[in-house]
Structure 1
Amino acid sequence: MKVFFLLFPFLVFSQQNVAKGLVLDKVTNEPIPYVNISILESTIGTSSDDDGSFSLEIKEEDINKIVSLSSLGYESSKIPVSLFLKSEEIFLNPKTEVLEEVVIKDKLEEKTKTVNKIEDSDLCHGFGSFAENPWIIALYFPYKDAYEETEFLKSIKFHFGNFKNKKAKFRLRLFTVGKDSLPDIDILKENVIVELKKKQKEAVVDVADYDIIFPREGFYVAFEWLYIPYNEE
């Protein structure tokens, strides 16, 4: 008699829940695109898509945590993951901005100055989209007296060198400098989404219409990666 032993591998599956829904403006009921959605105290998150829709896989160990939602022009919102999983529609309140003193100046375009000019050959590092969360990279630009005659921001150029880029979308962010010298308040009050074509080596974003004066304390220019299906292709 021959005895056969059949070996069955034990497969361990971690239980996951999928949250799906829409992020909407509480006043207009319109969808809000590119909302950052993240689970606090974790590395998991996503962004709402162009139509305000989102989908996020949530692990069992994150069920008792908090979800944070934030977007330009809206008050941030925090809700328990357990409630987030049951919500097909999530509403954000538009932010009421308190305007500070506004100084109107003549805007002359005859003079331009390039700040922090770089070449493709200067680039030696790259960033991928493998993280499961939106991320931001910011570069500080100090103010110099030489900028006084060209104090309005005209355009911002992003270089991508010779990397084999896929098509992608990212958000331009401009920040004031906080008391801790870190990025603080958004200077741009609306979404400026930049779309890249495959193998595109640079992107120039025209910001002249926003009438932004170079802050005397300097400012941060930031590249915000959006964790949306478009960027996963």
Structure 2
Amino acid sequence: MKQLLTLFFLLLSLYAPAQTIKLQGKVLAIGSSEHLSYVNIGIRNKNIGTATDEHGSFILVLPAERSQDTLTFSAIGYQELSVPVRQLAQAQPLEIKLREKENALQEVVVTSRKMKIKKLGNTGRLPGVWGMPENKEGKDVYEFANFIRVKGKPTELLSAHFYLASGKLDSVLFRINLYKNNNGFPGERLADKNIMQRLTTKDGWISIDLQPFGVYADEDFFLGIEYLPAAGADKFAIALGAKLGGSSYSRQSSLGTWEKFVGASLSGYVTVRQ
């Protein structure tokens, strides 16, 4: 009887479904086979994701119950690709290829009136109040966003600013994202511009020049500040300045759900010409 029970449990373990699905591979550009760095990878609106490293490589471990979901690969300047998780699990190691988008010139509105330099967004900061991106899944991103009102005026974006309150690393990589307003939340990208900068982690205001990217807006939009953690980074490696009052938005994974938090707002704004 004991031998029969042992055999039963052995067979049960052999046929039990895996508890996790590990996906590993690289993301490349179609045609050039160029490795694509910092591609957002995730199950949309499920808060499960990762990003490729500087060599285009990635590892993503999913719960087994996500085998019926679809994984999306999203890179600025490239067409999104969505593939069923079950299909990906059967093709390891993965070589994902993305097709480059056709360049679409952004419409520029020319005005004869004299334009002024302005700061739009949250220019304040209160010591002791901060936003702290949590690197909860090793290589996943964390993103904050502020709503920017342009009030229908033709607007040229000159620079983006945020306050780096503290950091445990010598340098960190950030990406500035600009999103259209979608019913009060960040929606589609305002412009397909890959605006990334590695910064030393000294306390103070950070300024990122937007003029080389030629970005214009005439409708309200969102300024997104995306933290791209290095592999093995501390769970709470950095902190961003904030102040009491107002509201900001955040999401905790690639292609995750945006959440609005009220009562405090990220110190972040854009300098524009209007």
Structure 2 counterpart SS, 1:129 = coil
Correspondence for 1:134: 141
Unmatched runs of 5 consecutive residues or more in structure 2: 1-17, 238-274
Q: State which of 180, 205, 208 in structure 1 corresponds to 2:208.
A: 205
Q: TM-score, normalised by structure 1?
A: 0.75
The answer to whether the 8 A contact 2:120-2:149 is kept is: no
Distance 1:17 1:168, change over 3 A: same
Q: Within 5 A, what are the aligned runs for 1:163-174?
A: 163-166=166-169, 167-174=171-178
Q: Within 5 A, what are the aligned runs for 1:66-145?
A: 66-85=70-89, 86-87=91-92, 88-99=94-105, 101-103=107-109, 112-116=117-121, 118-121=123-126, 124-132=129-137, 133-144=140-151
Partners of 1:171 and 1:231 lie apart in 2 by 17
Partners of 1:15 and 1:29 lie apart in 2 by 33
Deviation at 1:123, TM superposition (A): 6.3
Structure 2 counterpart SS, 1:121 = coil
Structure 1 counterpart SS, 2:174 = strand
Distance 1:184 1:43, change over 3 A: closer
Q: Within 5 A, what are the aligned runs for 1:36-75?
A: 36-40=40-44, 42-75=46-79
Structure 1 counterpart SS, 2:88 = helix
Q: Residue by residue, what CA displacement relative to the aligned partner does 1:178-228 show, whole Å, maximum 9, x if unpaired?
A: 4x2433332332211122323443321001122333x23222111123355
Deviation at 1:47, TM superposition (A): 0.1
Deviation at 1:72, TM superposition (A): 0.9
Correspondence for 1:229: 231
Distance 1:122 1:220, change over 3 A: farther
Q: TM-score, normalised by structure 2?
A: 0.65
* Percent sequence identity over aligned pairs: 25
Structure 1 counterpart SS, 2:119 = coil
4+ runs deviating over 6 angstroms: none
Partners of 1:217 and 1:104 lie apart in 2 by 16
The answer to whether the 8 A contact 1:169-1:231 is kept is: no
Distance 1:228 1:26, change over 3 A: farther
Q: 1:21 aligned to 2:29?
A: no
Question: Higher strand share goes to which structure?
Answer: 2
Distance 1:231 1:72, change over 3 A: farther
Unmatched runs of 5 consecutive residues or more in structure 1: 1-13
Partners of 2:201 and 2:195 lie apart in 1 by 20
The answer to whether the 8 A contact 2:172-2:229 is kept is: no
The number of aligned residues is 212
Structure with the bigger RCO (C-alpha within 8 Å, sep 6+) is 2
Q: Residue by residue, what CA displacement relative to the aligned partner does 1:15-58 show, whole Å, maximum 9, x if unpaired?
A: 33422111011132111111111134643210011111111122
Partners of 1:59 and 1:89 lie apart in 2 by 21
Matched AA of 2:100: P
Structure 1 counterpart SS, 2:120 = coil
The answer to whether the 8 A contact 2:135-2:141 is kept is: no
Q: Residue by residue, what CA displacement relative to the aligned partner does 1:100-142 show, whole Å, maximum 9, x if unpaired?
A: 6444579x99x63333463442661322223334343221111
Distance 1:200 1:188, change over 3 A: farther
